[in-house]
Chain A
């Protein structure tokens, strides 16, 4: 990659474009809903060779409201195994800290109706730490946000969220489920991070 080096605003600046050869952050798999909608996306056969996982996604659901993205591990859909979620969020009108009891961790923007906005997707970054551990609960941190330019603000929050799962076995599959249905062009990418 060539460095981008410019003179800017009369000031001298310089750039460096050194390409990292490190493989400490690697792409594992991607799911892009280019052809249509889907109820869920599953990453399976996740390699156990990393220390942490990161999911980066832009999501929209096909409903008239913004909706949660549910994150579940190893096919376990028992909500009692995802007992605690804590949110720090703002919707532009209210800033709050709140607790939840189900694995509602990410967010997808609404697609249709009064609250929907064409072409608007919610950005989510999810970090799952020490996912191969077999002797500790799993913790996930999610940062998400989008903005509707003043329209139906309540359905487009920004949040920093933490979620606890009592699943202690190594995570070999992750399912992201929409409260409604993920809309076309939603994009999900899974990465591995080495320690």
Chain B
């Protein structure tokens, strides 16, 4: 059984000023899965959603099935789904100190050209809510570029937003 370091950071981007676009390009095709971890902040408060897109595809090839848990809501857990979206959605929440949203995503077999790309993601704010989702990009293309941008009408990412991509290699 082969062994070795198989979980490696590929790149990190940290904003030193606000931005409406974060791009990771030239993603190496030498791994099996990608893991993306981030803390994203909006310039102004309130609920904000952003899109993750692959290979600059902004057509309606994205969708998701969601589970939300909100201890302050009624009910405290609820489902959601969407179809034919222009990106994979996630929340980057509000800018209230101490409630920075965290975001953890796995893209399995991102370079496999025999399948659509399935993403499983967890996202939450401290003491506020939690979301997990299965998301789909209906393309068999290998993922070489990943971008993050606010959904229409949402505010920019604020300074301090930080996203890291890791690669996991299988034997």
Secondary structure of the B side of the interface?
strand
Known pairs A153-B65, A158-B133; A4 contacts B10 (CB<8 A): yes
**A69-77, A115-123, A131-139, A172-180: which lies at the B interface?**
A115-123
A168 at the interface (CB under 8 A from B): no
Interface residues in B100-146 by Cβ distance below 8 A to A read: 106, 108-109, 112, 114-116, 118-120, 122, 132-136, 138, 140
Our pick among A21, A30, A144 for the contact of B170 (Cβ within 8 Å) is A30
Let me know if B13 and A26 touch, CB within 8 A.
no
Let me know if A95 and B11 touch, CB within 8 A.
no
Our pick among B18, B65, B77 for the contact of A91 (Cβ within 8 Å) is B65
Let me know if A8 and B21 touch, CB within 8 A.
yes
Let me know if A6 and B13 touch, CB within 8 A.
yes
Interface residues in A1-55 by Cβ distance below 8 A to B read: 1, 3-6, 8-30, 45, 47
Our pick among B64, B75, B134, B171 for the contact of A189 (Cβ within 8 Å) is B171
Please encode chain B, from 1 to 32, with 1 for each CB lying within 8 Å of some chain A CB and 0 for all others.
11111111111111111111111111110001
Let me know if A145 and B133 touch, CB within 8 A.
yes
Let me know if B134 and A144 touch, CB within 8 A.
yes
Query: How far, in angstroms, from A191 to B159 measured CA to CA in the complex?
Result: 36
Let me know if A9 and B136 touch, CB within 8 A.
no
Let me know if B3 and A94 touch, CB within 8 A.
no
Query: How far, in angstroms, from A161 to B22 measured CA to CA in the complex?
Result: 33
Interface residues in B66-112 by Cβ distance below 8 A to A read: 66-69, 75, 77-81, 83-84, 106, 108-109, 112
Our pick among A10, A25, A147, A184 for the contact of B19 (Cβ within 8 Å) is A10
A160 at the interface (CB under 8 A from B): yes
Q: Which 3 A-B pairs have the closest CB atoms?
A: A145-B134, A92-B81, A90-B67
Q: List 6 A-B contacts (CB under 8 A).
A: A13-B13, A14-B14, A26-B4, A27-B169, A95-B78, A184-B114
- B residues at A contact (CB < 8 Å): 1-28, 32-33, 63-69, 75, 77-81, 83-84, 106, 108-109, 112, 114-116, 118-120, 122, 132-136, 138, 140, 156, 159, 167-171
- A residues at B contact (CB < 8 Å): 1, 3-6, 8-30, 45, 47, 56-58, 88-97, 119-123, 125, 143-150, 153, 156-160, 184-185, 187, 189, 191-192
